[in-house]
Amino acid sequence: MEKMINLTIDGISVEVPQGTSVLEAARTAGVHIPTLCYLKDINAIGACRMCVVDTGARAPQAACVLPAAEGMNVKTNTPAIRKYRKTLLELVLSNHDKKCLSCIRSTNCELQQMCRELGVEDGDAFKGVANEYKVDDVSPSIVRDNNKCILCRRCVAVCSKVQAVGVIGPVMRGFKTAIESPWGLKLNDMACINCGQCINVCPVGALHEKDDTQKVWDALSDPTKHVVVQPAPAVRAALGEEFGLPMGTSCTGKMATALKRLGFDKVFDTDFGADLTIMEEANELVERLTSGGTLPMITSCSPGWIKFCETYYPDFIPNLSSCKSPHEMLGAMAKSYYARKAGIDPKDIVVVSVMPCTAKKFEAGRPELGHDGLADVDIVITTRELARMIKEAGINFNLLPDGDFDSLMGESTGAGVIFGATGGVMEAALRTAYETITGSTLENVNFEAVRGVEGIKEATVKVGDQDVSVAVCSSTGCAAKLLDSVRAGEKKYTFIEVMACPGGCVNGGGQPIVNADVRAVCDVRTERAKALYGEDAQKPLRKSHDNTEIKQLYADFLEKPGSHVAHTLLHTSYAARPLYKD
């Protein structure tokens, strides 16, 4: 039985399990203690000291690393503690680029919020020498600006502990301490997988996505270009947060209307691309099962995961599905199938993808993802970037009527929409693979065993007479553990789904940023996934192979899953990558 201890926090009696920190005990009592470096379950190092409290000891102590003790009397808001925190905050600001009006995180910055709470107005109390750094903007996905870094080390923790990549860390000492890559290399020269999880946890503007919105505005204003846009499944589950809607609000209709008002010539849906991916991927799985192909087959929808595999686990490259990711498939179809139907020269078509993922920016530039000298996708913007465009255009998002996607590549099934949540690709593939293998109708399409936000999930699914052993994992850290067990012969699977980001695309590096206080009490992954599963449940069609526009695509153009033309346009290959560039 768990041992409980009793303490008092600001006069409130609190009972918590032994081992609970004072910070978490205070939250149990509804007492707010400010934090900057702390991130629940990821970073508790007491570095920023903003969470100091008075316990009667000789000096204030950091609540995030202080274990609650029996009979402890904690005071969190004395005049001395408030003064201590304000002084610490002013010291942080003394080496911080305070161009707040032009900062990408203005109004959504934890440092800015804390200044308001503690009454710090100008941040010049300790004005003096400040470090100056060159902005690292070489990566196609991530910009690092150490002039704004407050050394909280959240990015270091998530990169190392969660993603098992570890390409950034503290260098130098004292006032010269900085978060850098080894040997002074730029992020793009390291084995960064472009996932953007470091952006999601940064409390300030030291990390943000590469802004490609101007490229989109330029394309939209070019009369010689026909601009096609496609939003990913997870975007509709989070875009509303940028406009004050509750987390987990599905805003598919408003999103489609907003995209049309921005001036795109066609608004297609990456959910269609997801259904198309399932047609090819399920066929590939069946072929491997029946012809003795390489197993387990591993999904290839997540570009962060693909780059992780190429870099850290190249021996598993033969296991990867050869299928392109959904938005790349739709891009390929836009510049072939749609171009032919519409009578447009593919060279004049610009494909814009709205993604929850910063790694998609890197993916779009891969030379192997294109045909006839044209990239499948020309520009990738994140959910955050789309929100900025909507605001810049003066569109009142919350008052928009619900609109529809354009036909030809706008229809989707429930299987397509759940791609945005961990386990969704697996579930969608099983729905189609079951009927392909057995020839019978799958009555219950819900595969509950592969749902949920656990880092690694396992299940055995009965498909006709076969037992199909599957695994689902999210975060590359969990992928590493799973692959190590497969490599050692401890685990055997038929099919594995991997998503680079914890919880899947709903928690991608390009999604709306949620501050640490909200993350401590709300599971962002679960709330956003509810929107996708809710749409799935309401869809009249819930299996990819039932999509009427997909059927028409194969009848008119692709012939059948796995055909020569399908392989030419919808499949690709991968190769090992070095850990860093010389």
Tokens of 556: 């008119």
Mark out the alpha helices in 160-225 (DSSP H runs): 197-201, 213-220
CB 421 within 8 A of CB 503: yes
In terms of Cα–Cα distance, which of 260, 207, 192 is closest to 231? 260
**3-state secondary structure (DSSP) of residue 477:** helix
Residue 281 falls in the annotated catalytic set? yes
Residue 411 falls in the annotated catalytic set? no
Helix/strand/coil percent split, the chain, to 5: 40, 15, 45
Q: How many residues does the chain have?
A: 582
Choose the catalytic residue: 24, 110, 242, 284: 284
- What is the spatial distance between Cα 278 and Cα 561, in angstroms, rounded to a whole number? 10
Choose the catalytic residue: 70, 368, 448, 559: 368
- What is the spatial distance between Cα 147 and Cα 205, in angstroms, rounded to a whole number? 9
Residue 458 falls in the annotated catalytic set? no
Residue 363 falls in the annotated catalytic set? yes
- What is the spatial distance between Cα 128 and Cα 54, in angstroms, rounded to a whole number? 30
Per residue, the 3-state secondary structure of 52-104, as one string, reads EEECCCCCCEECCCCECCCCCEEECCCHHHHHHHHHHHHHHHCCCCCCHHHCC
- What is the spatial distance between Cα 14 and Cα 1, in angstroms, rounded to a whole number? 19
Q: Is the peptide bond before 296 cis (omega within 30 degrees of 0)?
A: yes
Tokens of 486: 């497969």
Tokens of 207: 């990390």
Alpha-carbon separation of residue 212 from 322, 349, 507 (angstroms): 28, 17, 20
Tokens of 63: 């609540």
Tokens of 180: 């850098």
Choose the catalytic residue: 363, 427, 497, 527: 363
- What is the spatial distance between Cα 98 and Cα 493, in angstroms, rounded to a whole number? 52
Stated as kind and residue range, the H or E segment containing 363 is: helix 359-364
**3-state secondary structure (DSSP) of residue 448:** helix
Residue 284 falls in the annotated catalytic set? yes
Residue 90 falls in the annotated catalytic set? no
Choose the catalytic residue: 302, 321, 325, 475: 321
Choose the catalytic residue: 281, 411, 497, 527: 281
Distance from the first to the final alpha carbon of the chain? 55
Choose the catalytic residue: 115, 192, 501, 505: 505
So which residues are the catalytic ones? Answer: 281, 284, 301, 321, 360, 363, 368, 505
